[in-house]
Structure 1
């Protein structure tokens, strides 16, 4: 019917001198029924929309941003050239209007959402795996990096764990979080071919997915079992190194434990305060007084809302001593220490920060 109306309109405009055109129009009306018009229109719509989500390369994207700058300021988009060749979205004569605008709008929306709505999440990546042979055992040691997406970490947080460590974590979490763990897969133990490249590669990917799935469940990622899987071994090793006077090696291990807790969002726990104490002690022993003072300040900020804590007095004493050494203000810490002295045991009976660090049981 639309073809017939178009034919009559052409007939009225052309007058008596357009017999050839009328004949052609009549043939079109006979050869093109309504069903074929709908099919043709559907094909044209499909062709016009076929390129709306096809994004260009980075260089072409920058050119489009420059061309679309006027649109962001409220200016109308520039129409496509009349003589443009057929491109990604079909003939230019058919698609220079709506489809070009729609494509540009969708691309602009995608670019904006890509930068503003990208979620910040923690990624677990197995960067290497090595076969370790000891006197009575042989195992694979997997190195896992904790990476925050959308940020550049100058110093990565890393752990090295073997299959038995993952298996112990899986067993503990299934005992406590049976329902949440029901849908989480864990790679099975094999009797043979545990040290082939194929098995190690498959397990590496499986461990990445395993940790990511655990971290996606709020109750599990806040549980002591999950958190201490990452940093308890570092804390124990750092404590042993500190007790034996190997402060440079201990400092690196304390620092990695600090980064792990920071990535995992565990900066309000007693373990984190102990980590700050280890950093402060090692920095002070290595004559890095400014860094030690900064660790004490961070710990005192975390302890600001707490009236009493076993590490509050030792941190205040260390902060006052270091502030005097580096020429910083120590009056606030002195006042807090005076209040603490009046409410608790005499100052002489309070242990130093190093003594607290050595005596703290880490299990």
Structure 2
């Protein structure tokens, strides 16, 4: 259809070649009229079978397919010759279908994937031992991942994990290959590089088993020890170091999709306490609110009253609405819980949690 229109247009142009630039001096200047031309030609573009398009074109407004019926561009006007009404019905059948398809969202879902990458390996030597510290970064692909999550482990940590998993998950671990211990050349670049790649593949493989990645053995290797370290740092008053450790543990829990609510509650509450002691009240209130959400349906949780009281106090200081927490605290009191003689949030974390 397009080739026929082009041929007819050329014939029309040849017929008017008698006009010269001198006859029409105003046409000798070039000007941009693409916006106007696009508006006038909108709706006439269609894709599909040629016979369907030609049939619709010929039948529009009673047009019988006269060879003299052509669309020619003269100056800035769109002339229609051979049509007494001077109107051209747009072929909208296929155009509307295209517009409908273009409106549909072009969303390609990318499957999220967790990977483990050894970012560095350093030889550590102190007065009693010498070992290689492998820094492994946990990365989630397929989504926006701006939170760093790192663990630092040595060969003996991996060996202990492998031994424990073989005892508890014999069927899944039956064909898992673990790098053997070497007597010599443990600290050469070649050995360290090979072990780094082996540890990445090892973690990737054991993470593929749902029973393993949800087990306490697996979680202990990744973040449970960090929670214990964070608690000890809080006890010692080293809140800045504690917060750094706890935030990294939180990122690990989120990436590993840990389903243990008690671990998440302790982490969020501890981070809130660290921020509060550094006088960063908005951050403290935000983490306190998130911690409350994990136990919103547990009326007798030992941390519920201290969290509500802390959230009311922090919300008041940062000018946020505290009425919901106040109403909840009133409900808890009506059940007979003594809300006046409760340990502080920090006392709970230091003395009672994770013992």
Per the alignment, residue 324 of structure 1 pairs with 316
Among 132, 147, 159, the alignment partner of 1:155 is 147
Paired with 2:353 and 2:181, the residues of 1 have a C-alpha distance of: 33
Q: Deviations over 1:86-106 (max 9, x none)?
A: xxxxxxxxxxxxxxxxxxxxx
Return the offset for 1:220.
0.7
Provide the secondary structure at the position in 2 that maps to 1:348: coil
Return the offset for 1:236.
2.1
Per the alignment, residue 302 of structure 1 pairs with 294
Per the alignment, residue 274 of structure 1 pairs with 266
Per the alignment, residue 243 of structure 1 pairs with 235
Provide the secondary structure at the position in 1 that maps to 2:332: helix
Provide the secondary structure at the position in 1 that maps to 2:132: strand
Matched, 1:169 2:141: no
**1:268, 1:302 within 8 Å by CA — same for their partners in 2?**
no
Does the C-alpha gap of structure 1 residues 288 and 183 become closer, same or farther in structure 2, counting only changes over 3 Å?
A: same
**1:273, 1:299 within 8 Å by CA — same for their partners in 2?**
yes
Provide the secondary structure at the position in 2 that maps to 1:349: coil
Return the offset for 1:345.
4.0
Gaps of 5+ in 2: 1-44, 51-105
Does the C-alpha gap of structure 1 residues 203 and 329 become closer, same or farther in structure 2, counting only changes over 3 Å?
A: same
Aligned runs of 1:124-139 on 2, under 5 Å? 124-139=116-131
- Normalising by structure 2, we get a TM-score of 0.68
Return the offset for 1:268.
4.4
- Normalising by structure 1, we get a TM-score of 0.66
Paired with 2:175 and 2:244, the residues of 1 have a C-alpha distance of: 37
Q: If you compute each CA radius of gyration, which structure gives the higher value, 1 or 2?
A: 2
Return the offset for 1:318.
0.8
Among 332, 343, 347, the alignment partner of 1:351 is 343
Paired with 1:280 and 1:75, the residues of 2 have a C-alpha distance of: 60
**1:235, 1:275 within 8 Å by CA — same for their partners in 2?**
yes
Return the offset for 1:277.
1.0
Matched, 1:205 2:197: yes
Return the offset for 1:167.
1.2
- Which 10-residue stretch deviates more, 318-327 or 243-252? 243-252
Paired with 1:173 and 1:135, the residues of 2 have a C-alpha distance of: 32
- Note the aligned Cα RMSD (angstroms): 2.2
Return the offset for 1:74.
7.7
Per the alignment, residue 118 of structure 1 pairs with 110
Provide the secondary structure at the position in 2 that maps to 1:347: coil
Return the offset for 1:299.
1.2
**2:288, 2:310 within 8 Å by CA — same for their partners in 1?**
yes
Q: Deviations over 1:96-132 (max 9, x none)?
A: xxxxxxxxxxxxxxxxxx9725321111000000011
Per the alignment, residue 334 of structure 1 pairs with 326
Per the alignment, residue 252 of structure 1 pairs with 244
Return the offset for 1:348.
3.0
Does the C-alpha gap of structure 1 residues 133 and 195 become closer, same or farther in structure 2, counting only changes over 3 Å?
A: same
Q: Deviations over 1:289-319 (max 9, x none)?
A: 1111111111111212323322212211111
Matched length: 256
Per the alignment, residue 57 of structure 1 pairs with none
Paired with 1:135 and 1:168, the residues of 2 have a C-alpha distance of: 23
Paired with 1:265 and 1:193, the residues of 2 have a C-alpha distance of: 38
Does the C-alpha gap of structure 1 residues 156 and 74 become closer, same or farther in structure 2, counting only changes over 3 Å?
A: farther
Does the C-alpha gap of structure 1 residues 332 and 268 become closer, same or farther in structure 2, counting only changes over 3 Å?
A: farther
